Amino acid sequence: MKPRHVLFRGRLVPYEDARLHVLTTTLKYGVGVFEGLRAYWKEDERELYIFRPHDHFRRLHDSLRVTGMDVPDGIDDLTERLTELIKANDLRQNLHIRVQAFVDNDDGTPDATGPVVVSMATIPMENYFGRAALDVCVSSWARISERSMPPRVKAIANYQNSRLAMLEARADGYTGAILLTHEGSVSEGPGYNVFVVRDGRIATPRVTDAILQGVTRDTVLQLASRHLGVEVEERRIDRTELYLADEVFVCGSAAEVTAVASIDRRPVGGGGAGETTTALQWLYDAATRGTLDREQGWVEPVYHPETSDAGSGSRV
Ligand SMILES: Cc1ncc(COP(=O)(O)O)c(C=O)c1O
């Protein structure tokens, strides 16, 4: 699991040396933001593709700006550093990549804006949920709201909300959770966006429904439009619609496209991945390996960039 090298304070350092002081401002006040992205190994091409790095790094910038932290590195620089890190670790397998940007001083005040440094670590990962459909509950915790925190970005502090929802779900025997907004409509899961399918129509909460603006969500919107000929409705979704749906699925860089088997112990459709979910899983796998929609510039090849036409970088 442990990579040989981690990017830390601008340098590649051995895994054991990527450490912070116990009085770090980040630990005291959660002054940090992060990203989780993926890279997929394609054996027949002997190539590793990073999926939508520019969009993830752009969101990292957005997170820094919204939380009032200094922005240290450009999007292209970050992509380059990640590629170097993967090469230095000589990784040729599916990966989850953890990127963090944090205030790098000891005992700072909560309004510290810098100095900000970026760390990156590459962790081998196959399917996060093992492709098993989830049994989720509607959480008793409401999703954080714009009135108190910025849900749209990936601030470390936001994840106390996700954590509480997951702890509650696990304690009650569920494998996932869906949080509602303060107004009571569907928002998202602790680490994934939510889609519902009914009578062939696909819907997902709007970005103004207190969701993280997911890169995978955007990928699914585009894949559904281009390949299934269905425009996903981005609209307010009531809790009742979860119970009435033919299919519900969640998506995220870690979760990929994962079916929901039941919600509050009520089976969804046939209880496994339905037709639309299965189709989107297939399309997502193909897009992440660079065999579909390559012209979108979603995949960034690590080992043979010169032979590829990908990598121009799209934008969410
Ligand atoms: C709260 C939350 N919502 C949604 C997502 C999905 O976002 P993405 O598809 O960009 O990984 C994540 C994962 O990062 C998340 O943590």
SS3 per-residue string spanning the chain: CCCCEEEECCEEEEHHHCCCCCCEHHHHHCCEEEEEEEEEEEHHHCEEEEECHHHHHHHHHHHHHHCCCCCCCCHHHHHHHHHHHHHHHCCCCCEEEEEEEEECCECCCCCCCCCEEEEEEEEECCCCCCCCCEEEEECCCCCCCCCCCCCCCCEHHHHHHHHHHHHHHHHCCCCEEEEECCCCEEEECCCCEEEEEECCEEEECCCCCCCCCCHHHHHHHHHHHHHHCCCCEECCCEHHHHHHCCEEEEEECCCEEEEEEEECCEECCCCCCCHHHHHHHHHHHHHHCCCCCHHHCCEEECCCHHHCCCCCCCCC
Domain ranges of the chain: 5-126, 134-288
d(CA 191, ligand 1 centre) in Å: 5
User: Is the minimum distance from the CB of 83 to ligand 1 under 6 angstroms?
Assistant: no
Let me know if domain 5-126 sits in CATH 3.40.50.300: no
Nearest-atom index, ligand 1, CA of 211? 3
CA distance 44 to 222: 26
Strands 233-234 and 47-51: unpaired
Whole-number pLDDT of residue 315: 47
User: Is the minimum distance from the CB of 153 to ligand 1 under 6 angstroms?
Assistant: no
pLDDT in tens, the chain (316 residues): 788 999 999 899 999 999 999 999 999 999 999 999 999 999 999 999 999 999 999 999 999 999 999 998 899 999 999 999 999 999 999 999 999 999 999 988 889 999 999 999 999 988 766 778 999 999 999 999 999 999 999 999 999 999 999 999 999 999 999 999 999 999 999 999 999 999 999 999 999 999 999 999 999 999 999 999 999 999 999 999 999 999 999 999 999 999 999 999 999 998 888 999 999 999 999 999 999 999 999 999 999 886 655 444 554 5
Strands 299-301 and 95-103: unpaired
Tell me, yes or no, if the two domains 5-126 and 134-288 fold the same way: no
Place of tokens 């509602």: 180
Taking CA atoms only, the protein residue closest to ligand 1 atom 13 is 191
The token pair at 149 is 């925190």
d(CA 37, ligand 1 centre) in Å: 10
CA distance 41 to 50: 9
User: Is the minimum distance from the CB of 179 to ligand 1 under 6 angstroms?
Assistant: no
Amino acid identity of residue 124, one-letter, is: P
- Name the residue among 281, 285, 315 with its Cα closest to residue 297: 315
Residue whose CB lies within 8 A of the most ligand 1 atoms, among 56, 253, 256, 288, for a mutation test: 253
Q: Are 191 and 125 spatial neighbours (Cβ–Cβ below 8 Å)?
A: no
Whole-number pLDDT of residue 127: 77
Strands 47-51 and 299-301: antiparallel
Entry field: residues in the chain: 316
d(CA 65, ligand 1 centre) in Å: 18
Domain 134-288: CATH superfamily is D-amino Acid Aminotransferase, subunit A, domain 2 (3.20.10.10)
- What are the beta bridge partners of residue 132? none
Whole-number pLDDT of residue 100: 97
Q: Is 154 one of the catalytic residues? A: yes
